[in-house]
């Protein structure tokens, strides 16, 4: 094999290695994406079945239900059109309140409840995740903060 052929073979091996590494990185990235959905989108079937997604909206007032002596909690999340019941086992964030914005990470169960493994509450009165603010604004909520451009 001539020196030029060896260089070309080395270049081909490097290109192949970079291509394989890129393919693995893109696959891992795609599998770890968490798409945001409103309750209306989830109930209309837009959320992929069996995949982890983010559900966002407002916690319905009076919907918080706790299991006595356990960390299991159920509450309803709404986008002012439709409502999804969220089941969560764990400690809720300190800022979690009824009537406030929330994002829950998890999957839809076959029985129609959203099983969350993480719940995030808005951290002050001026911030709401842009997706939640836009969904609430689209549904006519009067106290929605401005959505950043």
Which tens digit of pLDDT belongs to each residue from 96-120? 888 888 889 999 888 888 999 999 8
pLDDT of residue 43: 87
pLDDT of residue 125: 47
Superfamily of domain 36-138: Nucleic acid-binding proteins (2.40.50.140)
Query: Which residues does 74 contact at the CB level (< 8 Å), separation at least 6?
Result: 63, 64, 65, 85, 86, 87, 88, 113
Is there a contact between 36 and 56 (Cβ–Cβ < 8 Å)? yes
Q: Which regions of the chain are under pLDDT 70?
A: 31-34, 122-133, 136, 139-149
pLDDT of residue 34: 67
pLDDT of residue 147: 46
pLDDT of residue 44: 86
Task: Please indicate, yes or no, whether the overall pTM of this predicted structure exceeds 0.85.
Answer: no
Residue spans per domain, the chain: 1-33, 36-138
Is there a contact between 64 and 73 (Cβ–Cβ < 8 Å)? yes
């Amino acid at each position: 094999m001539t020196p030029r052929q060896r260089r070309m073979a080395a270049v081909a091996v490097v290109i192949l290695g970079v291509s394989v590494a890129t393919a693995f990185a893109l696959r891992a990235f795609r599998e770890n994406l968490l798409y945001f959905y409103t309750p209306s989108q989830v109930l209309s079937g837009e959320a992929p079945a069996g995949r982890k997604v983010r559900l966002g909206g407002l916690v319905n007032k009076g919907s918080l239900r706790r299991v006595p002596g356990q960390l299991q909690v159920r509450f309803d999340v709404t986008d002012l059109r439709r409502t999804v019941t969220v089941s969560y086992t764990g400690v809720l964030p300190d800022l979690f309140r009824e009537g406030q914005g929330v994002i829950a990470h998890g999957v839809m169960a076959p029985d129609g409840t959203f099983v969350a493994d993480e719940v995030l509450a808005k951290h002050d009165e001026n911030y709401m995740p842009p997706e939640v603010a836009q969904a609430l604004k689209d549904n006519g909520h009067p106290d929605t903060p401005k959505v950043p451009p």
